[in-house]
Amino acid sequence: MVDEVLLHLRPQRGGVFVDCTVGTGGHARRLLEAGASRLIGIDRDSEALEIAANQLGHLTDRAELIHANFRDLSQLLDERGITHIDGALADFGLSSLQLEAPGRGFSFRRDEPLDMRMDRTSGSTAANLLAQESEVSLANLIYEFGEERYARRVARAIVRAREVAPVRTTGELAAIIRRAIPSRGRRWRIDPATRTFQALRIWLNQELDQLDAFISTVGRRLRIGARFVIISFHSLEDRIVKHTVRGLAKTGEVALRVLTRKPIVPSEAEVARNPRARSAKLRVVEGHV
């Protein structure tokens, strides 16, 4: 949704912009080309940052790429003497690199090591999670973060499988899940493994932790008239975004105005070009007096 991002962030006005989830640099490049004076790009994925540096090319003299968690935004800005910003973007979707690069373990389309870490320089893998968590804990996180109605069945199947041999690959896990979820002779609209893979990824990377506090932090840094664009890709995430921005605007705790009463969704043409965009929801808030 690059066009929508540029329309609402208005980088042609110049100023300091923050891409809180810079990924491989696609949005960042367009923001700089459209007129942003300076761009701070943050990402946990060091491999994505290397690609972003190449993507930005000659524009790197106006950009700084930082290997960090976007939740540390206040500290990162303070370290650079930046008190207020002229725009911010947070795109919470997985990048093509994470989904398609071999060995990342986010997708079950290939049989590969079950990693799922956004930052492969630290933390435990999804395989370790499956080996250590109790059946009850697994069922709870699969239900909470994947909204999987058969979470108990899936958790039970995983525990039984690991008693025989460790679950080490995406293919092994996907097969376990598919066997655990009843089909009753019907075709599934989405692969039965989808919700559980989403749940494990969210839990492992703590994607929803302090998301409301992060939104509040960005809001406090916006200049009057500056905008924050947030793109979410699943209902749990969008629910937090929606309630947080509305709550902050209503209470006046942070001087914000919500510009999108309903989320903006991708056009049919964009979905045709990029099927992964179909579940995207874009919301915009503006720094207010």
pLDDT given at position 178: 95
- Say if residue 218 is in the same domain as residue 129: no
- Say if residue 223 is in the same domain as residue 84: yes
- In whole angstroms, give the CA distance from residue 249 to residue 226: 15
- Say if residue 216 is in the same domain as residue 86: yes
Indicate the residue among 182, 205, 228 that finishes a domain: 205
- Please name the residues in contact with 34: beta carbons below 8 A apart, sequence gap of 6 or more: 6, 11, 12
At 257-283, the pLDDT tens digits run 999 999 999 988 888 888 878 889 999
pLDDT given at position 184: 67
Amino acid, single-letter form, for residue 227? R
| Strands, sheet with 85-91, edge to edge from the N-terminal-most edge strand | 63-67, 38-43, 16-19, 85-91, 222-232, 281-287, 256-258
Q: What is the CATH number of the domain that holds 278?
A: 3.40.50.150
pLDDT given at position 190: 82
How many domains in the chain?
2
- Say if residue 79 is in the same domain as residue 29: yes
Indicate the residue among 205, 228, 251 that finishes a domain: 205
pLDDT given at position 278: 85
Amino acid, single-letter form, for residue 146? G
Q: Identify the domain containing residue 162 by its residue range.
A: 101-205
- In whole angstroms, give the CA distance from residue 202 to residue 235: 12
Query: What is the percentage of the chain residues whose pLDDT exceeds 90?
Result: 82
pLDDT given at position 289: 67
Q: How many CB atoms lie within 10 A of CB 56?
A: 21
Q: What is the CATH number of the domain that holds 191?
A: 1.10.150.170
26 and 6 Cβ atoms separated by less than 8 Å: no
- Say if residue 14 is in the same domain as residue 69: yes
For 72-131, give the secondary structure using H, E and C.
HHHHHHHHCCCCCEEEEEEECCCCHHHHHCCCCCCCCCCCCECCCCCCCCCCCCHHHHHH
At 172-198, the pLDDT tens digits run 999 999 999 987 655 667 889 999 999
- Say if residue 192 is in the same domain as residue 54: no
pLDDT given at position 188: 66
- Say if residue 118 is in the same domain as residue 159: yes
Q: How many residues does the chain have?
A: 289
- Say if residue 123 is in the same domain as residue 193: yes
Indicate the residue among 166, 182, 205 that finishes a domain: 205
The pLDDT profile of the chain, 289 residues, written as one tens digit per residue, is: 899 999 999 999 999 999 999 999 999 999 999 999 999 999 999 999 999 999 999 999 999 999 999 999 999 999 999 999 999 999 998 877 777 778 899 989 889 999 999 998 888 999 999 999 999 999 999 999 999 999 999 999 999 999 999 999 999 999 999 999 987 655 667 889 999 999 999 999 999 999 999 999 999 999 999 999 999 999 999 999 999 999 999 998 899 999 999 999 998 888 888 887 888 999 999 998 6
- In whole angstroms, give the CA distance from residue 35 to residue 103: 37
Q: What is the pTM of this model?
A: 0.92
Count the alpha carbons within 13 Å of 270 in the hemisphere toward its beta carbon.
13
pLDDT given at position 187: 63
Query: By C-alpha distance, which of 224, 234, 154, 225 is closest to 196?
Result: 154
- Say if residue 244 is in the same domain as residue 254: yes
- Say if residue 215 is in the same domain as residue 168: no
- In whole angstroms, give the CA distance from residue 237 to residue 241: 6
- Say if residue 82 is in the same domain as residue 213: yes
- Say if residue 119 is in the same domain as residue 197: yes
